[in-house]
Structure 1
C-alpha cells in the first residue's frame, strides 16, 4: 500500500520552487544564458542546411555546383557543430557549478541540523538527497532543458520554412501530429509515476544497504546473513518491478513512435513523389522537406523524456527544500565571556522525545568545580539523556539548565560545547590517522606538537602509539576498527586532554574494557578529572563510591542523593545495587 501511495503522489513543488533552489545554489546565470544563446545559434545554423541542400540538388550540374556553394554548406555544418560543442561545454560548467553549490548548501545544512533530525532519518536517505537528487537537478538543467529550448526553436523554425516551401505538404504532415500526441501524453504520465516510485525505492534500498554494511559485525555475530539477504532481495525485487514497468512503457513507446514517424515519412514520400512526377515539386525541395521533417521528429521524441525528468526534478526539489526548511540548532546567546564553566545546575528539568513519553521528570541537582557527581540507576532510566541535554543535543520541555547561573540557552552553542568534554563507553573514532582523531574538531594550527605529545602522555596512550610502526600517523580504519577498545578510549581521553574542558562527562567509560586496559584508562581519567566539574555515569559502583554526590535515577525521576554511605543508609534500591555488586 505504501508503494501504491507513492506512485499516486505528485510533487507539490512548483517551477518557482525549482528556480528559487537554483538561485540559492549560486547558478551562473550569465554563463547559462550564454550557453542557451550558443545552443540557439547552433540550432539556427542547422535550419539553414536543408535549404542549402535543396539548392545543391536542384541545381546539380557542373556549372551550378560551385566551390563557393560547397564551402558554404561545409561552413554551416562546421558552424553548427562548433556552436553546439561550445554550448555543451558551457552548460556542463553551469551544471557542475549548480551541483557543487547545492551539495555545499545541503551539507552545510546537515551540519547545522539538530540530533533529533538524524534520530528520525536514515543516513542512507540523507546521502541520497545530497548525491542523487542534486544529480537529477543538474541533468535537467544541463541536458534536458537546452535540448527542449533547441527543440522548440527547431520545430517552430522548421514548420515556418515548410509552409513557405509547400503548404499542402505541410498540412499533410500535421495529420500525424495529433496521433503522436495521443501516444506520448498518456505513456509519458505513466512513465513519470513509475520513475518517481523508482527514485523513492532506490533511496530506501541504498539506505538499508548502508545501514547493514555499517553494522556488518552485528550481522556476522548474530548470523543475520539470511535476514539481510531476504531484506535486500525484497528491495532488489521492488527495483526490478519498477524497472520492468519502465521497460514495458518504453516497449510500447518506442515502436509506436517509430510507427507514427514511418507513417508520416511514407505519406510525405508518397505524396511528394506524385508531386515530383507531375512537375509541381522539385526533388531538391522534397529532400529538404524530408530533412526538415526529421528535424521536427527528433525533438518530439525528447519532449516526453524532458517532462519525465522535469517531474523527477520537482520531486528532488521538494525533498531538498524540506531539508533546507528544517529548523536548525539554535546558536544564539551572548553570555560567555565571564563564565568559568564551574557550577552546573539542573532546575526542575523535564524532557521527552518525539513520542511524548516522559524520559526525565522534574530533575534537580547541582555539580560544582572540583566535584565529582555520579548518576546511578537501572538501564533506560534517563541517565544518558541528562548528558545529551547538557550538550544541547535536545532542548528541555520545561525547567532550566544553568552554568554559573546562566541558562545554557543564552550561551552560544559553540562556546558551550568547547567547554565540555565527553568520554563514552564506545569512543567515537573516525577513519584517518591517530593524529587526525586526537585533533578532531580543533582549528588548524590551534595546538603545537608539544601539546599533542603532552595529551598523549597524560592519557597513557604513548605506550601503545610508540609501538606502532607509523606512530601518530597510523591509519585506524573505519570507526577505529584496527584499534582495541582500550586504545580507542585512550585516544578519546587524549582528545579531551587537548581540549582541556571545564566540564567533563564520563558515560560508562571503562565498562567494556579488560582489567589491563581498564587500569590505563582509569589512571588517565583520574588525572583528567582534576580541577574540573565531573559528571559520571557508571554501572560499576566501585568506580563512583568516592564521588562527592551520587544521584539515583529511576524511570526518569531522581529518587535519592547523597554520598555512598548516605545512600546505603537511606535508599533501598541503591542498597540492593550495592549488595548485588559487592555481595553484602
Structure 2
C-alpha cells in the first residue's frame, strides 16, 4: 500500500475523530499555537527597529518593551500549547488503547488459536504509542509551523520581495530530497513494527513457559531466535539511519548555502544603501523561522509515515470479527426430526433434584436452564478438518452425562461448542426449542461452570482467583464455605496470609491438586446451572484425586453435569454415557448396557480397572 493512499488518510482521520478529547481543548491548543507563532513573527520586526535605532544612535525603549512582551507571549503560549497537546495525545492513546483492549477481550477464541499474545501486546502498546507521538509532538507543532512559514513569507514579501524569492528557491530543492524518501520510511516502519510484534510474541511465549525452556535446556535455541529478531530490528534501524544520514546533511547544506547567499546578497545591498542593517537581520531571522518549521514538517512527515503503518495494523485488528455481546441471529431452523432425550423422556420425573433455587432465579436474561440441551446434526471443523460428524443427542436438565472415548475423539470440542468458543459448522445446539446462538452470550456463559484438567489460575491472591469474574458482592463467609466444600480450606488456612496468599504466575506456587480444588471452589461460588468437567481429576496423585473427587461431588449435586471421564467410578455413576470415536457417537447408554453391547467400551473399562489397581496405594 502506498503511503499517500487516500484510504490511509481517511482511516487515520477517522481514528483521530473517534478518540479525540473535547473539541474546545484542541481549539484552545491551536489558538495558543497561533499565538506562539504570532509572537515569533513579531520578534524580527522589533529586532529590525532596534538595530536601525542603534545605527541611528537613538533607542526607543518602547521597542524593547514590545520585544520583551513578544518573547513572553511566545514562551507562555508555547508552554501552554505543549501541555494541552500532550494532554490531547495522552487522551487519544488512552481511548485507542481502551478500545483495543475491549476489542481483544471480545475476539473469538479461534483468533487466539492463530495469533500469539505478544503480537497483540505490540498492537496495544507500541503501535498506539507511535500514533501518540505524532499527535502529541508533531501535529500542532506542524500546524504552528505552517502558520509561521506563511506569516514569515507574507512579511518577507512586504519587507523585500527579491530576497524572499531567493529564499523560496530552496523549497523545490528540499522537496526533491524529502519526497522520494517518504515511501522508504513507510516501508521500513511497517517492517519494524512487524518485527517488534514478532519479538514481543517470542518474549511472551518464552516468559509464560520459562520452566519448560530451562528444564529442556532450550536457552541456547531461544537465544538464537531472539538474537535473530533483534538483528532484524537493528537492520531496520540502520536502514532508517541511512535515510536520515542522507537527509540531514543535505538539508543542512541547503540551509547553509541559502544563508551564505542571503548574507552575501543582503550585505552588498546594505553596503550600497539599498537595504538597512536591521532589515537584513530581520530577513535572516525570518529565514530561520521558515527553515526551523520546515525541518519540523520533515520530522512530521517521517512520524506520519510511521503512524500510517501503525494505523493500518490497528485497523486490521479492529476489523477482526468479535463475539456477539448482544442477541445474534439464530442459525436457520433445522428440518431434522426432533431428537429423543437420552435415557428417559423429558416429561418423566427425574430422580435427582435439578436445583433448590426458585425458577425466578434460574431464568436469567431469557436463559431458562430447566430446558434440555439438544445437539441436532452438529458437525464442526477446525480449519477445514472435520472433528465432529452429525452428532444427535439430548441432555435432560439435572442429569450427569459422561463422554468417553480415545484421545482426539472430539470430547473437549463438544465442551468448546457449549461454551460458544466456536460456532458449529453444520446443525445447531438448542436449549429447549431455542438455538443457543439466539441467547445472550454473556448470560449463557454466566450459567456455565468449567473445570478442566489444567484449570487456569491467574497471578494474584487466592481470594481474587476465587471471585474472578463474579458480578456480585461475595462475602468472606461465602468464600470460606466454597473452600470448605471444595476441600481447599485446610491448605489455604495453612498459608500465613490465608486467602490473601499470592499464588504466582499461573498459580505456580500451588500444587496441581490445590489448583484443581481452587477451580472447584471458584465454580461453587459461580453457582453454574450447567457444569462441564474436563478430566478434572487427571494427572493427580491418589490422595489429591480423592480430595478433588469429593469436592466434585459437592459441586455436581443438583446440576446438569457433563463429564469427560477417565475415572471408572465417575463413568459408572453417570446417568448416561456417550462413547465417541473420531467425532462420531458409536455407542450410548448406561454402563451396563455398553458393557454388553460395545466392545471398545469394555476394553476401556478394563484398562481403567488395571490403571486404578496399579495406582492404589
- Report if TM-score (shorter chain) is over 0.5: yes
Which residue of 2 is the match for residue 317 of structure 1? 311
Query: Is residue 327 of structure 2 the alignment partner of residue 332 of structure 1?
Result: yes
* Superposition deviation, residue 10 in structure 1: 7.8
The one of 451, 456, 462 aligned to 1:428: 456
The one of 327, 346, 367 aligned to 2:395: 367
The one of 383, 387, 391 aligned to 2:419: 391
Q: Structure 2: how far apart are the matches of 1:583 and 1:440?
A: 39
Query: Is residue 516 of structure 2 the alignment partner of residue 522 of structure 1?
Result: no
> Does the aligned pair in 1 maintain the 2:186–2:309 contact within 8 Å?
no
Q: Identify which range, 571-580 or 272-281, moves more after superposition.
A: 571-580
**Structure 1 residues 23 and 147, CA gap change in structure 2 (3 angstroms):** same
> Does the aligned pair in 1 maintain the 2:185–2:305 contact within 8 Å?
no
Which residue of 1 is the match for residue 447 of structure 2? 419
Q: TM-score, normalised by structure 1?
A: 0.94
Q: Structure 2: how far apart are the matches of 1:393 and 1:412?
A: 14
Q: Name the SS of the counterpart of 1:460 in structure 2.
A: coil
> Equivalences for 1:408-487 in 2 at 5 Å?
408-445=436-473, 447-487=474-514
Q: Name the SS of the counterpart of 2:586 in structure 1.
A: strand
The one of 326, 345, 348 aligned to 2:377: 348
Which residue of 2 is the match for residue 3 of structure 1? none
Q: TM-score, normalised by structure 2?
A: 0.89
Q: Structure 2: how far apart are the matches of 1:146 and 1:17?
A: 19
Q: Structure 2: how far apart are the matches of 1:365 and 1:345?
A: 6
Name stretches of at least 5 consecutive residues in structure 2 with no aligned partner. Answer: 329-362, 612-617
Q: Structure 2: how far apart are the matches of 1:177 and 1:10?
A: 20
> Equivalences for 1:30-179 in 2 at 5 Å?
30-60=24-54, 64-179=58-173
How far does the alpha carbon of each residue in 1:129-177 deviate from its partner, in whole angstroms, 9 at most, with x for none? Answer: 2212222222222211112111111111111222222222222223332
> Does the aligned pair in 2 maintain the 1:195–1:308 contact within 8 Å?
no
**Structure 1 residues 80 and 329, CA gap change in structure 2 (3 angstroms):** same
Q: Structure 2: how far apart are the matches of 1:11 and 1:569?
A: 71
> Does the aligned pair in 1 maintain the 2:397–2:559 contact within 8 Å?
yes
Q: Structure 2: how far apart are the matches of 1:338 and 1:231?
A: 49
> Does the aligned pair in 2 maintain the 1:26–1:98 contact within 8 Å?
yes
> Does the aligned pair in 1 maintain the 2:109–2:421 contact within 8 Å?
yes
* Superposition deviation, residue 47 in structure 1: 0.6
Q: Structure 2: how far apart are the matches of 1:378 and 1:396?
A: 22
Q: Structure 2: how far apart are the matches of 1:470 and 1:439?
A: 17
**Structure 1 residues 104 and 338, CA gap change in structure 2 (3 angstroms):** closer
Quote the RMSD (CA, aligned, Å): 2.1
> Does the aligned pair in 2 maintain the 1:335–1:412 contact within 8 Å?
no
Q: Structure 1: how far apart are the matches of 2:403 and 2:5?
A: 49
* Superposition deviation, residue 338 in structure 1: 6.9
The one of 579, 584, 605 aligned to 1:557: 584
**Structure 1 residues 9 and 266, CA gap change in structure 2 (3 angstroms):** closer
**Structure 1 residues 326 and 196, CA gap change in structure 2 (3 angstroms):** closer
The one of 236, 244, 247 aligned to 2:241: 247
Query: Is residue 326 of structure 2 the alignment partner of residue 298 of structure 1?
Result: no
Query: Is residue 263 of structure 2 the alignment partner of residue 269 of structure 1?
Result: yes
Q: Structure 2: how far apart are the matches of 1:11 and 1:206?
A: 29
Which residue of 1 is the match for residue 352 of structure 2? none
> Does the aligned pair in 2 maintain the 1:17–1:317 contact within 8 Å?
yes
The one of 495, 510, 523 aligned to 2:537: 510
> Does the aligned pair in 1 maintain the 2:483–2:489 contact within 8 Å?
yes
How far does the alpha carbon of each residue in 1:418-443 deviate from its partner, in whole angstroms, 9 at most, with x for none? Answer: 21111001111111111111101112
How far does the alpha carbon of each residue in 1:61-90 deviate from its partner, in whole angstroms, 9 at most, with x for none? Answer: 696323322121111001111001111111
Q: Identify which range, 160-169 or 315-324, moves more after superposition.
A: 315-324
Q: Structure 2: how far apart are the matches of 1:112 and 1:175?
A: 55
Q: Structure 2: how far apart are the matches of 1:415 and 1:171?
A: 71
Q: Name the SS of the counterpart of 1:159 in structure 2.
A: helix
Q: Structure 2: how far apart are the matches of 1:116 and 1:192?
A: 31
* Superposition deviation, residue 578 in structure 1: 2.8
> Does the aligned pair in 1 maintain the 2:366–2:439 contact within 8 Å?
no
Which residue of 2 is the match for residue 536 of structure 1? 563
Which residue of 1 is the match for residue 273 of structure 2? 279
> Does the aligned pair in 2 maintain the 1:13–1:315 contact within 8 Å?
no
Q: Structure 1: how far apart are the matches of 2:584 and 2:239?
A: 56
Which residue of 1 is the match for residue 302 of structure 2? 308
Q: Identify which range, 205-214 or 456-465, moves more after superposition.
A: 205-214
Q: Structure 1: how far apart are the matches of 2:43 and 2:96?
A: 40
How far does the alpha carbon of each residue in 1:92-144 deviate from its partner, in whole angstroms, 9 at most, with x for none? Answer: 11112111111111212222222122222221121122212222222222211
> Equivalences for 1:178-197 in 2 at 5 Å?
178-197=172-191
Size of the aligned set, in residue pairs, is: 576
**Structure 1 residues 357 and 11, CA gap change in structure 2 (3 angstroms):** farther
